[in-house]
Structure formats: structure tokens, C-alpha cells
Chains A and B, each alone.
Chain A
């Protein structure tokens, strides 16, 4: 009985994902102002995927914005010192820099769990933030560095078409990243990662190095954050120290819980709600977006702890039960 239900579930999920991607690709053609918004949603969703991977291991990082910032600044520094580049180069640079950072810092932080893990990540991210903020000669301080519009695969786009090209590239990356993240979490390595949350001692008894398992997850999450950071820097045409501030890290954890930290879809659902509320509340409701999102977050935690995806699943289960 279990197997068919699962297939129909994953078939449905695939249909939902394809539908959402198609929607994200078509809506901006009708509503041009949404192109950048959806790009940001997808790019931040990729970042949140990284945060979700760590949440699967039961570890909350309040410092992952540092990898987001590393990705963004890698792009910005290249543009500043080497002149305009190509989007593909930018994405490689951003994700490679964040991966490298993640591997080095990961070596230290994977020795710790829970509050200590969170604290160390926060501490590292604040060191990075203060450097970005204060090394004015290299980083322009709080003003940030402008990111010049790159070519995409060698083609130079006009601003109007560039936003669409960037949107489609970002959507493709988001789909691929989700697939990879989901495959990783479903793989033996991913199951071991989850075992860190449920019973780390038992994992060690099996002869598995929990630290190594967590390090792999950590580096992958840093990679995704860097990739998302590079995309956001290109979409917003700037990298500022605020990208690496602790509130940004908090936002990413927020989005993960908002969407539901049990699946890749949650990252994008959460990101969509977050960005759209911010976009509209900032424009129409006299800058009350933080207030609104704070209330939404509290409501989600109190009444739907599995996030938006959890609500979706619950409705589906109820519908199936009624049938």
C-alpha cells in the first residue's frame, strides 16, 4: 500500500514543481516588474537549501550569511579588479570561494553541536562582516561594491532582456540545485547526516565519522549559499556588508522554517512568501514588512511548525482521507 501512495505523492510533487517553474517563467513576461523579484526568490531559495541541509542534521547556523556574502563579494571583487566578466565565471567564482571558505571554517565548527555550533558560526560571520564594513579601501565599507552587468555565455544583453536572461538562468540553477540537494539528502550520506540529529552516538558506533559527514553537508551548504550570493549580487547589482550581517543569517533560517525544512520545495515556497511580502509591504504599507513577517513567522511556528509545505501536505492527507 505504501509504495503506490509514494509514487503518486512524488508524481504530484513533480507536477507542482514543474507548474511553479512554468509560472515563474511566464508571469514576468506579463508583469515585467516581477522578473527581478522572482530571480531573487529563486536565488535566495538556493541559499535556503543550504540552510535546510544543516537543519536536517539538527544544526542551526546563525552565520550562514557569511557564505552568501563571500559569494557576492567574490563577484564584486572580480568586477572591480578584473573588469566585467561573464555570468558563468561569476557563478563559478562565487560558489568556489564560498566552498573554500566553508571547507576551512567547517573544519573548526563541525566539532561542535547545537548552541556551540551556532555561536561559532555567528562569531565567524561577524568577523567577516566587520572586515567588509571596515576595510574601506578594499570593500568601500558600508556602501558596498557595485556589480557591473555581466555577459551571459559571451552574449551582452540590454538591461530589459538581461533581467529575463538572468531569471531563466537562475530558475535552471534553482531546479538543478534542488534536485542535487534532494538527491543528496536521499542518499546514504544524507541519511547519515540526518542521523546526526536523531542519534549521533549510534552513527559513530556504525563506524561512521559524524564530523566528516557533517563537514560534507557543511561544505555543500556553503557552496549553495555562495552560489545564491553570486546570483543575488548580479541581480541587485551590488554587494554590501549587510549581506553578511547576522540578521541576514537569521532571515535564511526564518525562510527555511517558514517554507518547511523537510524538503527542497519548502526553501522556494518560504523564499517566495518572504520576498513578496517584503516587496509589497515595503512599497504599499509604509515599511512594515518586518512587522508583518514577524507576525507570520510566529503564526507559522505556533500553528504550522512544518511550514508552508507542511500545510500543503496536511491538506492533501486530509483530502485523501476524505476520499
Chain B
């Protein structure tokens, strides 16, 4: 393998990892606070992408630079509206019920969103690559690559890691979320509105998934099934890292992203296998994930 391909694979991996990280950290955040695996998380990613593409196609004729705020607006809108409705009206009534019912509610939402997506945007691939083309290419060790993918995406991911870390550890709102995660009853007893915490957390997590989708939309064609693929992939990252691990999810996303990129160049047919193989191997040895500290009940 010559060095050009090596660098290319590395860059592919990093830009891909940034997107997967955004989605999986949202999944992880929701799980650690609400104790729910959100199966519809991939749909939020897909909606983020589709809404962003629709918006940026609409504003691009006015000024192509407007596509960047469009990506952001799309992800927040999807996260707050879809995420908010989901938590408030579908999940809230089933808290405390059996796990399988909570899981299936999100599965039902996945089915509904998947179907609506086909009805709204059709099944033809959609392209909206204006933001990608707007930014110049950069040369990394002699390899030319779009700065959107090697600078902007990793920067957003890094900002998300730092931002979440700061938010959870150094702000009152973050402390309240951690308190509810740690001990819901005690937190409620000292006057924390746990229901609001759940709602806000879910919206943040949903927005992160949508942001991943919005940022991915310029780099790939949007097709039906992108959500279903992304949910398992982001779940693989979140589970391999250990559910609830923010920095761990970033490291794992990088690991899986880069491993996948190298496999694409070496043995393309095994591309989809890589994340799941890593997941199986890690979970068999450390079911709590690479960075997880939760005790797994084993008898």
C-alpha cells in the first residue's frame, strides 16, 4: 500500500468518523439519561439530511453561503420538533413500563418515519453538495481533499465533544442532567423537574443525530434506507465505546471509521462487516464497552 492511499484512507476514515460520532453520541446521551435505546435515531439522522438538503437547495440560488446556516437550522429544527414530539407524546407515557415496550415504541416511530420519508422525498437519490464545493480543497501531505470533510467535519465533532463535556461538567443545566442520571428520585426530591430534563436531553440527542445527517448531506447522495443503516452503525459505535461514554464514542468512532476506510481500499467487500465484527469482539470481551465502567450483571 503506497503512502498516498494510506493518507487517503486515513482522511476518509476521519471525516466519516466525525459524522458517525455525532449520531452515536446523541444515541449514547439519550440512553444514559432516559435508559432507552432509540431505534428511531437513524431516522432522525436521515431527516436531518433530507431537510438540510431541501433547505440548502432552496437557499442556494439566493446565496450559496446560506447553505451553511441552512444545515444548522435543519438539524436543530428536526431535533427539537421531531425529538420533542417523540419524547413528549410517545415516550413519556411508557416510562416505567417494560423495556421491550419502550424499545418497540421507538421501533414503531422508525417504521412511521421511514415510510413518511419515502412519501415526502421519494425514492430517487437526492444530491445537495453546494456546501462541499464552496470550500476549497486542501493538500494534506500531498493528497488533495475537500476541506469540508477533513477540516469542517472533524472540527464540528471536536467542538461537540468539548461542548458536551463543558455543558455536562461545568454548567448548572448539565449538573441537573447528571443528577437525574445518577439518581432520579433524589434529584426530584430536591426540586429538579426530571420530566423536563428528559425532554431537553432527548431534544439534544435528536439534534445531534440530525446534525450528523445535515452535515453528511453534502457528501453523499440521500437514499431510502440511509437511516436504517446509520442506526446500527451508530449503535455499534456507542456500544463498542460503552453506552454513555462521550469521549469514548469519539475514540471508537475514529477507530471504526479508520478501520473501515482501510478495508475499503484493501478488501472492499468487507466494508460493512468491519464495524460489526469489532462490536462483536469487543462486547464478547468487555460487554460494558471499551470505555464503559457500568457493572454488567453476570451470574
Contact = CB atoms under 8 A, between A and B. Distances in A.
Task: Decide whether A and B are members of one complex.
Answer: yes
B170 interface: no
A253 B104 contact: yes
Interface in A46-101: 55, 60, 62
A123 B280 contact: yes
Contacts of B239: 119, 123
Interface in B132-188: none
Contacts of A62: 103
A18 B201 CA distance: 50
A294 B277 contact: no
Given A114-B99, A290-B112, A130 B279 contact: no
Nearest to B114: A290
A179 interface: no
Contact of B297 (A113, A120, A135, A293): A113
A269 interface: no
Contacts of B231: 246
B116 interface: yes
Given A294-B108, A298-B90, A302-B94, A116 B279 contact: no
B284 interface: yes
Contacts of B277: 127
Nearest to B231: A246
Contact of A291 (B93, B97, B98, B116): B116
A275 interface: no
Contacts of B273: 127, 130-131, 134
Contacts of A287: 115, 118
Contacts of A294: 108-112, 115
Interface string A212-240: 00000000000000000000000000000
Interface residues of A, number: 50
B298 A291 contact: no
A118 B279 CA distance: 13
B73 interface: no
Nearest to B296: A116
Given A253-B107, A301-B104, A288 B119 contact: yes
Nearest to B123: A287
Contacts of A116: 283, 287-288, 296
B122 to A, nearest CB: 11
A305 interface: yes
A257 B272 CA distance: 31
A291 B100 CA distance: 20
B101 interface: yes
A38 B275 CA distance: 38
Interface string A282-314: 000001111101110110011001000000000
B2 interface: no
A279 interface: no
A182 B49 CA distance: 47
Contacts of B270: 130, 134
B287 A120 contact: yes
B105 interface: yes
A204 interface: yes
Contacts of B101: 257, 301, 305
A112 B97 CA distance: 21
Interface in B272-295: 272-273, 276-277, 279-280, 283-284, 287-288
A115 B277 CA distance: 18
B299 interface: yes
Task: With a 10 A CB-CB cut-off, give which of A115, A120, A210 has the most chain B CB atoms.
Answer: A115
A90 to B, nearest CB: 28
B80 interface: no
Given A133-B272, A305-B97, A297 B104 contact: yes
Interface in A251-265: 253-254, 257, 261
6 contacts: A119-B235, A123-B280, A127-B276, A250-B104, A295-B112, A298-B108
Given A130-B270, A134-B273, 5 more contacts: A60-B100, A119-B235, A130-B273, A210-B299, A245-B228
